[in-house]
Structure 1
C-alpha cells in the first residue's frame, strides 16, 4: 500500500532532519555525568565523585539547554540535568567538593 503508516518513528535526537553534532555531544556528556553523579551519590564516601560530576553535569546540561535545537534534546537534557543536580546536592550534603 502506498499509504502505510509507520508505527514507530526512529529514535533520534535529530527530529528536524538536520545533524547536530555539538548539541548531541553535550547531551551525551550530560547523560554520562548525570548517571555517574546520581549513582555515586548513594554512597556517602563517594562524595567527591558525585559532587564534581554533578557540578560538571549541571554546567554541561545548562549549556546544552542554551544551545539545544530540538525538543528531544531538551527532554533528555532535563532528565539528565535533574540526575546531575540530585547527585551534586547529595554529594555536597555528604562532604562537599573538597572532602
Structure 2
C-alpha cells in the first residue's frame, strides 16, 4: 500500500466542508429540513391540514433565515429543500382548509 493511499482519509458525511465547525448553522439547516418535510407530509393529508399549515408557516421563515446565515454548500442544500418543502406543504394544507379547525 502506498503512502498516498494510506494518508487519505475516508470522507464522512458532513456539512462542515470548510474545515470549521458551524453548530448553529448546521442545527438550523437540519431543523428547516425536518420541519419542511413534516409540513409537506402533513399538507398532503386532509385531516391534518391545520398542523401542515402551521409547520409550513414556521418552516419557511426558519429556512430563509438559515439560508441567510449559512456557511457551507451542504447547509444551503438542506435549506433550499426545507424551503421548498415548507412552501409546498403550506400550499397543500391551505388547499385542504388551512388554519380552519
What is the TM-score when the length of structure 1 is the normalising length? 0.90
1:2-21 to 2 correspondence within 5 Å? 2-4=3-5, 9-21=11-23
1:6-45 to 2 correspondence within 5 Å? 9-45=11-47
SS at match of 1:11: coil
| 1:95 aligned onto 2:94 | no
| 1:84 aligned onto 2:86 | yes
Q: Which has the higher helix share?
A: 2
Indicate the residue corresponding to 1:51 in structure 2: 53
Indicate the residue corresponding to 2:67 in structure 1: 65
Query: After TM superposition, what 4+ stretches of structure 1 lie above 6 angstroms from structure 2?
Result: none
User: Which protein is bigger by CA-based radius of gyration?
Assistant: 2
Contact 2:30 2:78 in 1 (8 A): no
Please provide the CA RMSD for this pair. 1.7
Aligned-residue offset at 1:34: 1.0
